[in-house]
Amino acid sequence: MVKHPKPLVEIVGTGRYVPDRVLTNADLEKMVETNDEWIVERTGIRERRIARDDEGAAQMGAEAARKAMEEAGVEPGEVDILIVSTATPDRWLPSTACDLQALLGAGNAMAFDICAACSGWLYGLTMAEGYLAAGRGEIALVVAAEKMSSITDWEDRATCVLFGDAAGAAVLKKATGDRGILSAHHKSDGNLADLLYRPGGGAAIPMSEEVLVDKGHLVKMSGREVFKNAVRSMADASGTALEKAGLTGDDIDLLIPHQANIRIIKATAKYAGIPMEKVYINVDRFGNTSSAAIPVALDEAKEAGIVGPGTVILTAAFGAGFTWSGMTIRL
């Protein structure tokens, strides 16, 4: 029996939401100079989901959150802390978490957003863990809601083939036994900010006609550099999370990596010593849905019976910032 720290909080419910609209590689071939073979070979992505124009991050998050609360047997009014991870807030003020709070009727919660890109949901779990462990509340709801299609440049073939829209959520309570978060490792490096960013439309370069014309409000990415740093940071995230829990790849029932690129996923699995049969992959169906990718994958894996109570998962993410996170969880 592997020794590990006693968990402080456990996940008692999960939920996911993906929009109905499917955008395939064949559809993208009609929009930009690309082809299915290139996209599949370089990324593993075959299709992605795109939200309706009138569907925002809060609405998508609410769908996922309701399912997570239902599984947990928790009423909206019982939630003490509501954290939303999003790179695509519905508006700059107030937070998407407050809009989501109103949609859910979670009137007793403190609600706020965090911006840690694709690592945001894992960052959120750790923030909720600290809050609950400090005795400030009993129930946390951590949601990731991403409408990446709203910040994608649909004329830039280097980025538009990668992203999709989705939301995922989990309800957390204080742990009562050996189930829960076993270890976490979070890092960021702001020196790498300009590898993946939106240059304009914020306080430094406010929205203007010029920003719009230059598409400064949309995602810009140095793909090759992001790739290199992603492989490096995913290795640190997964390796350190395992080490902190006193576990090795052999102890892991399922690796749920951030779903950005199949080649990055394979490199992460290899580094962590986990065979590909024990790696959850849905990047082919959803593309990169930023911080929603991991909770969506976790909820799918639970529904498919791949993981369940007592199973140990390793999860790892990287994203703009740069940010990266690894976590081991006994479900």
Ligand X SMILES: CC(C)(COP(=O)(O)OP(=O)(O)OC[C@H]1O[C@@H](n2cnc3c(N)ncnc32)[C@H](O)[C@@H]1OP(=O)(O)O)[C@@H](O)C(=O)NCCC(=O)NCCS
Q: Is there a catalytic annotation at residue 288?
A: yes
In sequence order, the β-bridge partners of residue 188 are 323
- Answer left, alpha or beta for residue 96, where phi above 0 means left and psi between -120 and 50 means alpha: alpha
Q: Which of 25, 229, 261, 288 is catalytic?
A: 288
CB of 223 to ligand X, least distance (A): 3
Q: Note the Cα 58 to chain centre separation in Å.
A: 15
Which one, 249 or 319, has the nearer CB to ligand X?
319
Q: Which of 149, 143, 173, 174 is nearest to 161 (CA)?
A: 149
CB 281 within 8 A of CB 81: no
Element (H, E) at 180: strand 180-188
Which one, 34 or 108, has the nearer CB to ligand X?
34
| Dist. CA 197–CA 170, nearest whole Å | 27
CB of 274 to ligand X, least distance (A): 20
CB of 298 to ligand X, least distance (A): 18
| Dist. CA 264–CA 258, nearest whole Å | 9
Would you tell me which residues interact with ligand X (CB under 6 A)? 34, 38-39, 42-43, 118, 157-158, 161-162, 196, 221, 223-224, 226-227, 230, 260-261, 288, 319
Q: Which of 25, 118, 185, 261 is catalytic?
A: 118
Q: Is there a catalytic annotation at residue 186?
A: no
Which one, 38 or 112, has the nearer CB to ligand X?
38
Which one, 226 or 255, has the nearer CB to ligand X?
226
Q: What is the DSSP string of 213-262?
A: HHTTTS-EE-HHHHHHHHHHHHHHHHHHHHHHHT--GGG-SEEEE--S-H
Q: Is there a catalytic annotation at residue 118?
A: yes
The set of catalytic residues is 118, 258, 288
